[in-house]
Amino acid sequence: MGDDLNTRTLAAAVTCLAAVTLVGCDPAATDPKPAAPVSTEPTTPPAATPSEEKMKPAESKAVLDFVGMGLQSAQDKAQAEGFYLLTSHDSSGRDRLQTLDRNWKVCSQNVKAGKTVPTDTELDFGTVKLEETCPSRDATTPEAAGEKMPNLVGQSVKAARGALDSGTSITTTDAAEGRMVLLESNWQVCTQSPSPGAALTGQPVEFTAVKYEESCP
């Protein structure tokens, strides 16, 4: 009985010693991990945030003369100079949208050519279509109506509508041939009801109109 116990104890000791020996021979278990290299390169400062960019003062430049240029070319040239706040309007007063900029030309600009201004200044180009003649001065759209009906005869139907409260009920009929008035910026007002100066109390408004190349009857 005692001999068996001694034999088992000796076997256990030999097994333990073998395990320790094997672990000790494993380089992965005994070699320390190399230390991370220390960089000696200079650190790059972080880039400016968008809010910090906005705080930087805008560069100032002399505004070019854009009159006579096609609208698209004028916009491209302005952006190349650093002016990105660009808008345009219809110099005829008809309140047309410049949907395809290549079909429009510049008649006026809100900042005089040669004037030095910050590049975050908005540039507004007055325009007409390529086949049209620039007016001597930009026509103005009618001012918003207050308590009295403004004189809207001769204005485009679109501009006339824009002068009235957005909730106003408006009926427009063709004064010449009974056609449907579809693109209101192509039609001019011939008559109006109520008449100019009449009190506006929410009543419906009626216009008759013809196309711009036509004369009112």
Distance of CA 114 to the CA centre of its chain: 26
> If 0-12 CB within 10 Å is exposed, 13-18 middle and 19+ buried, where does residue 146 land?
exposed
Q: And the tokens for 164?
A: 């009235």
Q: Which long-range contacts (CB under 8 A, 24 or more apart) does 13-17 make?
A: none
Residue 5 has pLDDT above 50, yes or no: no
Q: How far is the C-alpha of 111 from the C-alpha of 197, rounded, in Å?
A: 36
Q: What pLDDT does residue 145 have?
A: 87
Instruction: Express each pLDDT in 165-176 by its tens digit.
Output: 999 999 999 999
Instruction: Express each pLDDT in 31-53 by its tens digit.
Output: 555 555 555 555 666 666 656 55
Q: How far is the C-alpha of 203 from the C-alpha of 182, rounded, in Å?
A: 23
Please give the CATH architecture assigned to the domain spanning 59-129. 2-Layer Sandwich (3.30)
Mean pLDDT of the chain: 85
Residue 128, amino acid:
V
Residue 186 has pLDDT above 90, yes or no: yes
Q: How far is the C-alpha of 157 from the C-alpha of 205, rounded, in Å?
A: 12
Q: What pLDDT does residue 23 have?
A: 46
Instruction: Express each pLDDT in 53-91 by its tens digit.
Output: 556 788 999 999 999 999 999 999 999 999 999 999 999
Q: How far is the C-alpha of 215 from the C-alpha of 217, rounded, in Å?
A: 6
* Domain limits, the chain: 59-129, 157-211
Instruction: Express each pLDDT in 99-122 by its tens digit.
Output: 999 999 999 999 999 999 999 999
Instruction: Express each pLDDT in 111-165 by its tens digit.
Output: 999 999 999 999 999 999 999 999 999 998 888 889 999 999 999 999 999 999 9
Nearest residue to 83 via CA among 101, 109, 107, 48: 109
